[in-house]
């Protein structure tokens, strides 16, 4: 029997088509198998595709399930695909401002849809923040070499460690934006390292910014899950906020830490992401990411 699904292509963290981070979105995925989801994600060939479907019963504390697939594998959660999925849902259903709770592999997450005139801005509350111990010197050298970095390129105040709000990334702070933009990673070496450190994503960032509104520039590589370079990464910039607070790189005891990160410059898919971290006793508690989005196309796929 033929199945029909509504498919969007959404560019997240931008208002300009063909910039930011493209995500596939399937809005009515109730009848799809996991195999079919994987095949659709492979066909769309975005870094992630989000599949949105209603729960089987009404007795739930959430509104929708969302599953996320790269072209090669399912992943627990994805920031830009969540922004894209709820943006597509908002324009498809012509929603007013509201909060929708989505059920993901990292738990139930509230997503705020803010309607402004005829457009929307999306804010996602991410999963719980976790920071692993810093890597030993030998591992740091291997990571740096695989990324094409020298040890002296690393920012001394930024320990190399894994940060996560549900889909972990290695945080690698470096001194210079020119170095960031000229990186040519050894993807084979990164894939091998991912098996050893049990982390697939490498987020290289710098405070070397010429824009007072932008705190960091970054690049994110995850070849082990089929993503050579991700344009603008919610699951990197969000945890970065917690990482900066917990390591006291940014000093704040109580209140809210907000910043904007820019990513995708080198691959001509530049986008911006706003990060908000609620802080109590110098510990990050809640991390939210906010982004704009734009629809590139809507279609109906028959499978």
Active-site annotation, residues: 48
Q: How are beta strands 64-69 and 98-104 bridged, if at all?
A: parallel
182 CB-near residues (< 8 Å, 6+ apart): none
Helices (H), 45-93: 79-93
Q: How are beta strands 4-12 and 271-280 bridged, if at all?
A: unpaired
Tell me the C-alpha distance between 152 and 147, whole Å. 13
Tell me the C-alpha distance between 262 and 259, whole Å. 10
> To which residue do tokens 């050893």 refer?
196
Q: How are beta strands 161-164 and 293-302 bridged, if at all?
A: unpaired
CB-based contact 197:162 (threshold 8 Å)? yes
56 CB-near residues (< 8 Å, 6+ apart): none
138 CB-near residues (< 8 Å, 6+ apart): none
Distance of CA 258 to the CA centre of its chain: 17
Tell me the C-alpha distance between 268 and 14, whole Å. 12
Give Cα separations from 282 to 235, 285, 286, 298 (angstroms). 21, 9, 12, 44
Tokens of 255: 């209140």
Distance of CA 75 to the CA centre of its chain: 11
> To which residue do tokens 């945890």 refer?
239
């Amino acid at each position: 029997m033929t199945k029909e699904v509504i498919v969007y292509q959404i560019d997240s963290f931008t208002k300009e088509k063909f910039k930011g981070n493209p995500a596939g979105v399937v809005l009515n995925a109730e009848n799809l198998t996991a195999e079919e989801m994987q095949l659709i994600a492979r066909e769309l060939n975005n870094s992630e595709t989000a599949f949105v479907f209603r729960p089987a019963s009404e007795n739930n504390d959430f509104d929708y399930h969302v599953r996320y697939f790269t072209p090669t594998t399912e992943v627990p959660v994805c920031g830009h695909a969540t922004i894209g999925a709820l943006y597509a849902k908002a324009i498809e259903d012509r929603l007013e401002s509201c909060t929708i709770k989505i059920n993901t592999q990292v738990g139930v997450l509230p997503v705020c849809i803010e309607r402004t005139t005829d457009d929307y801005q999306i804010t996602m509350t991410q999963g719980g923040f976790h920071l692993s111990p810093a890597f030993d010197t030998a591992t740091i050298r291997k990571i740096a070499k695989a990324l094409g970095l020298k040890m002296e390129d690393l920012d001394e105040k930024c320990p190399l460690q894994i940060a996560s709000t549900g889909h972990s990334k290695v945080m690698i702070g470096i001194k210079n934006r020119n170095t960031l933009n000229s990186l040519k990673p050894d993807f084979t070496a990164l894939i091998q390292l991912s098996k050893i450190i049990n982390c697939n994503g490498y987020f290289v960032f710098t405070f070397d910014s010429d824009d007072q509104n932008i705190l960091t520039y970054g690049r994110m590589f995850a070849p082990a899950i089929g993503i050579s370079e991700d344009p603008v990464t919610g699951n990197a910039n969000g945890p970065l906020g917690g990482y900066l607070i917990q390591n006291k790189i940014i000093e704040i005891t109580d209140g809210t830490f907000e910043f904007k990160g820019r990513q995708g410059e080198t691959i001509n898919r530049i986008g911006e992401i706003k990060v908000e971290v609620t802080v109590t006793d110098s510990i990050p508690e809640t991390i939210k990411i906010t982004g704009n989005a734009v629809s590139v196309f809507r279609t109906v796929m028959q499978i």
